[in-house]
Amino acid sequence: MRSEPRGNALRETLDAGEAAFGVLDNVYSPTVVELLGELGFDFVWVDYEHAGPSPWDADDMADMLRAADASDTELLVRIPDADPSLVRKALDAGVRNLFVSRVETAAEAETVVEAARFTHDGEPGTRGMAGPRAAKWGAVSDYPATEDRETVVGVTVETVAGVENIDSILDVPELGFVFVGPNDLSVSLGHPGEVSHPEVEDAVETVRSAAEAAGVPVGNLTFGMEDVHAKVDEGDQLLNVGSATGAIRGQLGDWHARYREE
């Protein structure tokens, strides 16, 4: 029996030019993914660069993806480097929205996008053909065309070299989005943690304006509701609005102090 593939609501939102809002699940919990989906967020970001289980653990990814499916949200997975084998592994596990850390050249971006596609820019891609979870173990009709249509692959630009090469990175065909990394940019520019430093803000704007001119959606971090509205007004589309640990800390971090005051 043939099976219909699941669509990608996040791709549809980006294609429509609308903003998508998500939260970083930095406790790597399927329960948190499901809860955030029930709260109405468009995506849940799972970052395998800075912490968490191995990005090679397809079973772990599958559990997170099942939680996303159960609550009608999309999982946005970041992997630590542009290893095409890791790109293919994540997509075969069922990831449809993937991006890569610290991309600095068009060649790196091209490698990632090619690894994610069966056909790339009218030529053969380098994604492998199999019957994995992404294909519902061989049951999806027209699997290669469906995956190429529904998969969104982006890059993170978060170093001086990436900013310097942004125009050539954006020229890579079928690049799904570019995510700006102000935290790492602050390090690369010599101002660690100073995301509001003028040099950091100028670098972020260089990436944002170049992406807007190239018609490539922009992802970004946000720092409060006023900042969310400002970035939506600027045209950013993929916006992270908080994290699981940040929410816990914000709710309970000063609990003992408040208790002692009352």
Q: What is the DSSP string of 215-227?
A: T--EEEE--SHHH
Q: What is the average pLDDT score of the chain? A: 95
How far apart, in whole angstroms, are the C-alpha atoms of residue 96 and residue 65? 10
> Which of 7, 19, 11 lies closest to 219 in space, CA to CA?
19
Answer whether residue 25 shows pLDDT above 60: yes
State the pairing for strand pair 123-124/119-120: antiparallel
Answer whether residue 4 shows pLDDT above 90: no
3 band by pLDDT with thresholds 50, 70 and 90: low
SS (H, E, C) the chain: CCECCCCCHHHHHHHCCCCEEEEECCCCCHHHHHHHHHCCCCEEEEECCCCCCCCCCHHHHHHHHHHHHHCCCEEEEEECCCCHHHHHHHHHCCCCEEEECCCCCHHHHHHHHHHCCCEECCEECCCCCCCCHHHCCCCECCHHHHHHHHCEEEEEECCHHHHHCHHHHHCCCCCCEEEECHHHHHHHCCCCCCCCCHHHHHHHHHHHHHHHHHCCCEEEECCCHHHHHHHHHHCCCEEEEEEHHHHHHHHHCCHHHHHHHC
**Once rounded to an integer, what is the mean pLDDT over residues 188-198?**
96
Looking at residue 5, its pLDDT comes to 66
**Once rounded to an integer, what is the mean pLDDT over residues 116-141?**
94
Check if 256 is active-site: no
DSSP state of 140: B
* C-beta of residue 22 within 8 angstroms of C-beta of residue 43: yes
pLDDT, one tens digit per residue, over 34-58 is 999 999 999 999 999 999 999 999 9
Looking at residue 2, its pLDDT comes to 58
Residues 6+ apart with CB under 8 A from 192: 186
Answer whether residue 1 shows pLDDT above 90: no
Looking at residue 176, its pLDDT comes to 98
**Once rounded to an integer, what is the mean pLDDT over residues 11-31?**
97
How far apart, in whole angstroms, are the C-alpha atoms of residue 191 and residue 199? 9
**Once rounded to an integer, what is the mean pLDDT over residues 61-76?**
96
68 band by pLDDT with thresholds 50, 70 and 90: very high
Looking at residue 262, its pLDDT comes to 78
Looking at residue 6, its pLDDT comes to 73
Looking at residue 108, its pLDDT comes to 97
Q: How many CB atoms lie within 10 A of CB 206?
A: 16
Query: Taking the complete model, does pTM exceed 0.75, yes or no?
Result: yes
One-letter amino acid of 62: A
141 band by pLDDT with thresholds 50, 70 and 90: confident
* C-beta of residue 67 within 8 angstroms of C-beta of residue 41: no
pLDDT, one tens digit per residue, over 210-245 is 999 999 999 999 999 999 999 999 999 999 999 999
- CATH number of the 9-261 domain: 3.20.20.60
Looking at residue 61, its pLDDT comes to 93
96 band by pLDDT with thresholds 50, 70 and 90: very high
> Which of 67, 71, 76 lies closest to 44 in space, CA to CA?
76
Which candidate in 50, 120, 191, 256 is catalytic?
Answer: 50
- Sign of the alpha-carbon dihedral angle for 35, 37, 40, 42: positive
Residue 66's Cβ-side half-sphere holds a number of Cα atoms within 13 Å equal to 11
> Which of 223, 225, 217, 173 lies closest to 201 in space, CA to CA?
223
